Structure 1
Amino acid sequence: MNRKYFKLLIIITTMLLATSTTSAYTEFSKENKIDSKILGLWSQSKKSFEYSIKTLKNSPLELYFIGSESFNILNYSFQKKDSFLIEELLQLYLKTIPYIKKEKNYVIYELNENEEKSKIVLNKPIYIWSYKNGDEEVIASSQFLFVISFAVYKISLIPNEQRSKTMNEFIRRFSPILLSHYKRWVLGVKENGKEIKLGSFSRRGWGCKDKEDNYIYARTLNKMITELDNNSYHGASYCNVIADPSLLTIAGLGYYLAGEKNQEKSTNKTIEELNSFFIKSIKILSKKFKKSTIKDLNNRPIDILTFQEGAWYGHPNYEYSDYNGLSFPKEKDKKSSYFIGRDVSHGSRLLYLLEMLVATKDKFNIEFPTSNDMEMFTNSFYYRVFNQDLKRPLFKNYLNGSNGWFRVNYDSRKGYGYAPYQIGSLGALLGGYPRLAKYNNELEKVFITLFKKFNSIKKEDREFINKFYAKSIWMEGKEREVYHFYTKDIDIKTSIFLINFYSSLL
């Protein structure tokens, strides 16, 4: 064959393959009017978010749920260029601003020996959502600001003349809030002109010991990530994890900085320092991803990419991660793999991070992740988490493929926990994993099958969904039905579940 025509054939084949991996959801979405279903679910879901915002007067905790339960919808709205939903969401987020405080008083951990926390007076005021005693809820704020940073980044891609008034107001009002948070979390704060390199980040594990600290390991994120790279921690394996607040902050910071670059704003010392930290943190994080090979059901080798497997071994949340029994665990049932992975629900923060890097890495001259890395990460989810049953699709609880219980008797709640397939199946649909189908079109079939079952009138389909998806948690020693998918009037909680699942079919 002529080399010219052979090359042309390769190009055409590549285009067809690319089309096949990106269009299945699109065609299916049109046929099943998923866009209309999402709009139909929005008004009910919006009520929940508006209620959560009102609670910020007394507690910043609801920022966590506002962020985590709206991100898929926000992502969908920008991808679809749905101006109505974009405006609705941006206006919703703007309603959180009246509850933020501008404070010079700041609560900081381990500033003084034998004192858990101290209140200091800063040189300049900071923006903070806090409890009445001044404490910050970093996991909640970092989750919410990740979503805000994503929105700022997406708006920055839109030419100025095409932006709405709401978009311009959003960037104007949230940009200083983002900078205030990321500056203090990453770099620290100043009191009387003196830099304080302690902050709000820690190993998040109990029982961790080293020569310097005995209590909570309060750090700026910059110091914590640097120490982690130097392997300065020891003790329990979970003393060395990169936990959720860190992942959310780094992912949000990436979007924020990329948005600044897109708007061609003049840099200053703080932005340059944050940029340097971000590049350093990604180099360190990328080392924590590990490539390996597994076998599929037909004994064929499959390359996968994993993150910090084994790091959570011994943590109380994971003590029953290899107990697969259907009855509520007893003390004698404690069993955990040395190679335990993150639970699928909280593991979605890895997806946030990777998607951010795919979108922005060219802005920072970063190579990770490659398209091959993303395919391997998706392979790990498809071959180890998905149960390989297309007729009855379920997802194991842990990213390493373990399917034991999660968070048994969590936070002193006796009889509380997630049974096999519960936190995994919940996390798979709510955590944005359907978006990974662009890297493995077999995954599209899985989520399309589930969509059909959620909308089926067949008795066997409804029984399956009610058994494994509606009943998604144990409380007081009994399995509880949390969602009601087949009632005439869908409740708010079920609306949020469905809109998150449907808006991930991109």
Structure 2
Amino acid sequence: MSKHNARARRPLARALLRAGSLAVLLACTVPAAQAQSGGVMPAALECGGPVEGLVWRRWDEGGFVFVQQQLIAERLVKQGDTYALYHLEVFFHNLLAMAQRCQRSARQAQLAGLVASTYAQLAPAPGDQPGRAWICRGGPECSHSIRLRNTEVLLNSTQFLAFASSLANGMSREVRTGAPNDFVEQTARIAREHLERWNTPAAQDALRKRIAARPEDVKNTSSELFLTDKELWQIAIYADLAGMLAARPRLAQAVGLNDGSIATMKAHLDLLLRLVAARTTVQALPDPEGKTGKGIRVADLDAGFWRLYDTNRYASYTGRDKPVVCKRDPARPELVTAQTQIPAERFAPVANIGWDISHARRLVHFFDAIERNRAAMVQVYGIDPASLPSQDTMAAFASQFSLRVWNQDRARPLFANYFSGANGWYRVNYDNGTGSCAEGYPPYGLSESFPTGGYATWPAMHALGVRLYDITQSSRKEDRDFVAAHYPGFARQPGDSGRMLAEMMFWPTLVRRGGAR
């Protein structure tokens, strides 16, 4: 995912240069945000503080144009590339969450204008499927893959619609126009259409099969039995739709919902929640400091189900030598081929492996959607409150990250590639559908997922986020070398669009309102 994101970042530098702001942005200094004793929140990281201010300055001077012109106008509209929707969520969900925490109504309205402009690209769903959908017709992935071309790419739709639904839910308590172009009503209707289309008998049967499955049922490289991010995003959409319906009781009728359709939604949501519960593994670890005399609960997702998957073939290999090397053909420079140096057959699968930490960033906004809408989900769908992930379970995932993913080094924090704590190579010779060559990620190669993925919004991880902020802002050579080696998106390189975008993803996760998340 990181290489593909890097390609998407390049137009941002051009947008910032056109705005004449690059030199200004790089020259800006931000007050150091050192963690203080007693967990006191530094003033620089408060809502309304200089860090939030600089985030919005970068957004105004380049980020907005990047979304409007590159992601939407160029990629989505002109190319028909729905992966632009995927990237919009990846790059700017943390920004949206900060706008909501800091109650920036005007900023949310600005984001709503961008999101609403994508609704014009909805077309009748392919085949005999009901409703409208974003159809992928171009771009690197859909141009190279017959399987994806002229279809709805479910990942893109679920991920973007979760972003849009969160935004609309937040605005549902502020804007009550009832006009035909009301963003909240538009989004609720689109969410209903998509959720109803995805809730087919075949989809429910597949969910039941996965609920009953065990890791040993996975016999090959197939992903058929996996819990994926698409299920988490669908639950998040259900959650924020419930928030909208609870805030606006008349909205249900306006978007075509009645008691029967709500009951159908509940049946689907129940299955999705049962799958998440079935794939959540919780265990108790000894208190590493021995202070409490009690165990610390940690949690993992889909443990053991991914052990045979292609992307994880080298998960037990922690060496420095590259297993695969991408080499360019001297006679045909456009042709790059992968040459295996270390065969995967030399390494046994990691038995308990589940998600990598880049994909597991979905947990941040998934849990946030659940927590914001617990009461609304019970009220609207009539689900059992106990079917929702508990606050204790959410804390257990944060403890897993803190105890097993982080390397326990505050001076030089790094993060294992897998949420289980495994730290072998990831995505060696991975084919993302574009025909490109990928050597893979070495141990700690996904560390940048911590700052950009939103993990610092988890209370247990915030102080570590502040520490990493200090390192990435440092002018010391040893710090710059460390950042260049392990957090290249934050390397100090003039004109580096990757750095500017990475900081717009990271800095919002550090901003709190009144010292609270």
Tell me the TM-score range normalised by the shorter chain: 0.7 to 0.9
The Cα shift of 1:30 comes to: 7.0
Task: Give the aligned partner of residue 393 of structure 2.
Answer: 373
- Please tell me whether residue 47 in structure 1 is matched to residue 29 in structure 2: no
Q: Which residue of 1 aligns with 2:329?
A: none
Aligned-pair distance for 1:462? 1.2
TM-score normalised to structure 2 length: 0.74
Deviation digits for residues 304-336 of structure 1, max 9, x if unmatched? Answer: 122221110110001111211122122155443
SS in 2 for 1:347: helix
Matched, 1:355 2:368: yes
Q: Which of 1 and 2 has higher RCO (CA within 8 Å, sep 6+)?
A: 2
Residue among 419, 430, 434 paired with 2:456: 434
Q: Quick check: 1:495 aligned with 2:490?
A: no
- Structure 1: distance between partners of 2:42 and 2:276: 31
Identify if the C-alpha distance between structure 1 residues 228 and 248 changes in structure 2 by more than 3 Å, giving closer, same or farther.
same
Relative distance call for 1:31 and 1:79 in structure 2 (3 A) is closer
- How many equivalent residue pairs? 419
Alignment-derived partner of residue 35 in structure 1: 52
Tell me the secondary structure at the aligned position of residue 96 of structure 1.
Answer: helix
Kindly report the root-mean-square deviation, in angstroms, between the aligned alpha carbons of the 2 structures.
2.8
Q: 1:310 aligns with which of 304, 307, 320?
A: 304
1:398–1:460 Cα change, 3 Å = same
The answer on whether the counterparts of 2:448 and 2:486 sit within 8 Å (CA) in structure 1 is no
Among the aligned pairs, what percent are the same residue?
21
Point out the more displaced range, 141-150 or 346-355: 346-355
Whether the 8 Å contact between 2:191 and 2:237 is mirrored in structure 1 is: no
Residue type of the alignment partner of 2:301: F
Kindly report which structure 2 residues correspond to 1:27-426, keeping only aligned pairs within 5 A, or say none. Answer: 28-29=45-46, 33-42=50-59, 43-50=61-68, 51-54=70-73, 55-57=75-77, 58-101=80-123, 103=124, 106=126, 120-121=127-128, 125-131=131-137, 134-158=150-174, 160=176, 169-186=182-199, 188=200, 197=201, 219-220=202-203, 222-231=204-213, 234-236=217-219, 238-265=223-250, 266=252, 267-268=257-258, 269-295=260-286, 297-298=288-289, 301-329=295-323, 330-332=342-344, 334-363=347-376, 364=378, 365-367=384-386, 368-411=388-431, 413-423=436-446, 425-426=447-448
> Does 2:466 match 1:466?
no
CA deviations 1:196-242 (Å, max 9, x no partner) are x4xxxxxxxxxxxxxxxxxxxxx42x332223224399442754211
Q: How many Å separate the matches in 2 of 1:469 and 1:450?
A: 10
CA contact 1:44–1:492 (8 Å) conserved in 2:
no
Distance verdict in 2 for CA 1:81–1:469, change over 3 Å? same
Conserved? CA contact 1:77–1:85, under 8 Å? yes
Please say which of residues 256-265 and 304-313 is displaced more in the overlay.
256-265
Superimposed CA distance per residue, residues 111-160 of structure 1 (whole angstroms, 9 cap, x where no aligned partner): xxxxxxxxx345x6534333276311111111100101111211123363
Name the CA distance, whole Å, in 2 between partners of 1:25 and 1:228.
Answer: 45
Are the structure 2 counterparts of residues 176 and 127 from structure 1 closer, same or farther at C-alpha, using a change threshold of 3 Å?
Answer: farther
Give the drift of 1:422.
1.6
Gaps of 5+ in 1: 1-19, 107-119, 189-196, 198-218, 471-482
Contact 1:48 1:492 (C-alpha < 8 Å) held by counterparts: no
Higher relative strand content: 1
TM-score between both structures, scaled by the size of structure 1: 0.76
